Amino acid sequence: MPEWLVLTLAMLAACAVVVIITVVRHRTAPDDEDPSETPDVIEYMTMWIGVVYAIVLGLAIAGVWEGRSAAQDHVQAEAVALHEISERVRIYPADIRDRIREDVNAYVGHVVTTEWKTMADDGRMTERGTELLQRVREDVTDYEPRTDFEAQAYQPLLDQVTAADQARNARANSTGETMPGVVWFGLIAGGVVTIGMIFALQIRRTPRELVLAGLFSALIAFLLFLIWDFDAPYSRGVTASAEPFLELFPQAKD
């Protein structure tokens, strides 16, 4: 099911629940009930519950967005490190240089095709990707420099291999959901309480009140969906992309 359809259904469901409860409450309310007699303390509590929940929502959105940005940074760092390896080996003998570049290209090709889909569908990395990166590491570490110029380039190459490996591990740690279940419980329960306080204010069935209550509940549904959408950086909605790999290794598209 498309995510835009899930969002639309969630917002419509939130509005429908508020409207149905309001209509039922209106029909079952005593004839002498006066909505204007809502105690001041309830209005005060409603205001502060809304403020606290808004702060919690803001922090949650900021947290998942930061996680999504960090995931994209990991991809960028890994792509740059691999590109540096391909460029720095130009001073090596042709057979060694070509083998390292072929293995780097094979790894990048695997990442942007097979592994990226596995991350999106299953939330994990592939063993094949680990093997291909290990092959690149062995290509670099097993070569013994023959000249001073090659020796000077050897350690920077090892540093780039390490950087690529660290970025890959960071990417692996970012593939799953970042929000703990207890936080989701608090967000959903907080939303229910916040919307429930609308009824504590003795809302009636006037068009203006129904529209405002429906929009308020739809907004909360939208914000919760936004948090859920950002929570998995590689598999939902506005995801981290493989564009850094494709920009530095255009041949990986083939």
pLDDT at 109 over 80: yes
Amino acid in the structure at residue 236: R
Provide mean pLDDT across the span 111-129: 88
pTM score: 0.77
Q: Find, among 94, 71, 62, 66, the residue nearest to 234 by Cα.
A: 71
Q: Find, among 82, 75, 80, the residue nearest to 115 by Cα.
A: 75
Give residue 77's pLDDT: 94
Provide mean pLDDT across the span 156-184: 89
Give residue 191's pLDDT: 87
Read off the pLDDT of residues 219-231 as tens digits, 9 standing for 90 and up.
888 888 888 888 8
pLDDT at 105 over 90: yes
- CA distances 228 to 15, 118, 224, Å, are 19, 20, 6
Amino acid in the structure at residue 207: P
Dihedral sign of CA atoms 75, 78, 80, 82 in order: negative
